[in-house]
């Protein structure tokens, strides 16, 4: 069973388009995250949700809008895609909103052309 | 703003060597430091160190937290080619949901 799953795994799109990435975890965790990993492999937190409530928004452009319909899902919608949005996006979950072991999804490689 | 710095950024060794990776942190109300290994896909958890658990060991990997120096080391003894990966360190305090990652150390182990 996959603990944290993301779809799609690859996404190639043109500038200006709107796209969504879905994330689901079956671990029963209360906290979920979105991270962006750039070409230099630097992993930067974007959003944290605890029990469907946003708890961290790390100065991400408002073109990025997370949505958590329930504790097991955290989706990421991106409007008006830009070249600089090209990266790998990881979803993660953890048992605790305080610093704790995180389980990462396989990542979504987004390429904006 | 919280800050986590890892060194070296990259390291190339031969099988059998011992390596030490460093992670220093500046985190408000520090609570935990975690190490992850990232091979081709997602990071996977290695260790979590806190004020009450400053040393962890699993097989050839071990990690120590130095609360005075605000740093941690990850040691890998008798390295194998399968240890080739990016090693990530992150740290957080008492703010919910906030974790800061370091830049990572790219370890390459040659046969």
pLDDT in tens, A20-64: 999 999 999 999 999 999 988 889 999 999 888 888 888 789 999
Count of A-B CB contacts under 8 Å: 74
pLDDT, one tens digit per residue, over B32-53 is: 999 999 998 899 999 999 987 7
Tell me the nearest-neighbour CA distance from B4 into chain A, angstroms: 11
All residues of chain A having their beta carbon less than 8 Å from the beta carbon of residue B44 are 104
Rounded CA-CA distance A11/A107 in Å is: 11
Looking at the predicted structure, is the pLDDT value of residue B96 above 80?
A: no
Mean pLDDT of B17-41: 94
Looking at the predicted structure, is the pLDDT value of residue A113 above 90?
A: yes
Q: Which two tokens stand for residue A36?
A: 């962006």
Do B88 and A101 count as a contact with CB atoms less than 8 A apart?
Answer: no
Looking at the predicted structure, is the pLDDT value of residue B65 above 80?
A: yes
Whether the bond into A8 is cis, omega within 30 of 0 = yes
Contact assessment for residue B56 and residue B62, using Cβ atoms and an 8 Å cutoff: yes
Candidates A46, A49, A99, A104, partner chain B, best to mutate (most B CBs within 10 A): A99
- Kindly list the distances between the CA atom of residue B94 and the CA atoms of B27, B31, B67, B89, B111, in Å, as whole numbers in the listed order: 9, 6, 16, 17, 43
Please list, in sequence order, all residues whose beta carbon lies within 8 angstroms of the beta carbon of residue B13, skipping any fewer than 6 positions away: B19, B79, B107, B108, B109, B110
Rounded CA-CA distance B64/B57 in Å is: 9
All residues of chain B having their beta carbon less than 8 Å from the beta carbon of residue A49 are 97
Mean pLDDT, chain A, whole residue set: 93
Nearest CB neighbour to B31, from listed A33, A48, A99: A99
Residue A14: CB atoms within 10 Å = 8
């Amino acid at each position: 069973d996959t603990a944290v799953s993301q779809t799609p795994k690859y996404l190639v799109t043109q500038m200006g388009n709107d796209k969504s990435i879905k994330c689901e975890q079956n671990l029963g965790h209360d906290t979920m995250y979105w991270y962006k990993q750039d070409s230099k492999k630097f992993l930067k937190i974007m959003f944290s949700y605890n029990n469907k409530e946003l708890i961290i928004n790390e100065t991400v452009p408002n073109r990025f809008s997370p949505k958590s319909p329930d504790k097991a899902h955290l989706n990421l919608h991106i409007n008006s895609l830009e070249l600089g949005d090209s990266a790998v996006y990881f979803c993660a979950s953890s048992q605790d909103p305080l610093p704790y072991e995180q389980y990462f999804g396989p990542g979504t490689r987004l390429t904006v052309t | 703003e919280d800050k986590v710095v890892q060194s070296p950024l990259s390291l190339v060794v031969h099988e059998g060597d011992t390596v030490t990776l460093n992670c220093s942190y500046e985190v408000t109300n520090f609570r935990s430091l975690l190490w992850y290994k990232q091979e081709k896909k997602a990071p996977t958890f290695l260790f979590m160190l806190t004020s009450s658990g400053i040393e962890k060991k699993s097989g050839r990997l071990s990690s120590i937290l130095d609360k005075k120096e605000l740093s941690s080391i990850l040691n890998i003894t008798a390295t194998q080619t399968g240890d080739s990966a990016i090693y990530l360190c992150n740290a957080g305090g008492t703010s919910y949901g906030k974790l800061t990652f370091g830049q990572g150390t790219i370890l390459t182990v040659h046969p």
